Amino acid sequence: MRSFGVGLAAMAALMFAPSVPADPEMPAVVPFCSLCHGETGPSPFIGVPTIHGLPHGVIENALYKYRERRRPCRTTECSQDGRCPDINMCDVVGGMSLEDFHALADWYSAQDFPTHSDPYDPELAAHGRRIHDQYCEICHTNFGSNPIDDASMLRGQRKVYLRNALGDFQQGRRTAGIEAMDARLRTLSDFDLDALAEFFSGPAPKIDVGR
């Protein structure tokens, strides 16, 4: 099992030796992860999430679910033109141990979550905010921007990634393990999901402060 992780690390070392500084605390596979997720974030590819600064449990849980194929094992569009490896996450984690999962979660959760916003349509984002305020803010606080939420960071993720993820929940290809969220997402229209992705990938709104 460990040999696959070592193979990935060797590939990463060859491809990233000039740009990734040596760090004795960094798991050996991190340079390979950087090929798609970026060295410091935000994600350089629109269909790939930013993982730097996500909560430890969110990262570790995602790795478990990919290994069990409980999340879609899609290959990202950037692999089609050679900008990132032609491999999906289920294959990436298939050779990793539980210790690898824990080490990666330790590393990435200790990094800063980088601020980012994609170009957005304010009118569509406003509809997304209404949905968020009604159904999502209870778990994804501060408009999805609280780094200590176990529900994960939504604010500042890439729009295409967000829309794909929301569609996976809507269509039952992915589950949050929280029935209220899973059921709600199944009731939302494609337009609603477009609006949520627009809202979360755009600039953060100001938080209303009571007087």
Residues with Cβ < 8 Å from 135, sequence gap 6 or more? 184
Across the chain, mean pLDDT equals: 86
Q: How far is CA 36 from CA 42, 126, 204, in A?
A: 10, 30, 25
pLDDT tens per residue across span 19-68: 555 576 899 999 999 999 999 989 999 999 999 999 999 999 999 999 99
Mean pLDDT of 106-115: 92
Question: pTM for the whole thing?
Answer: 0.85
Identify whether the C-beta of residue 205 lies closer than 8 Å to the C-beta of residue 143: yes
Question: What pLDDT score was predicted for residue 58?
Answer: 94
- In this predicted structure, what is the pLDDT of residue 17? 43
Residue 206 confidence (pLDDT):
63
Asked whether the predicted pLDDT for residue 131 surpasses 90, the reply is yes
Query: What tens digit of pLDDT does each residue of 152-165 get?
Result: 889 999 999 999 99
The amino acid occupying position 135 is Y
Q: Is the pLDDT of residue 13 over 60?
A: no
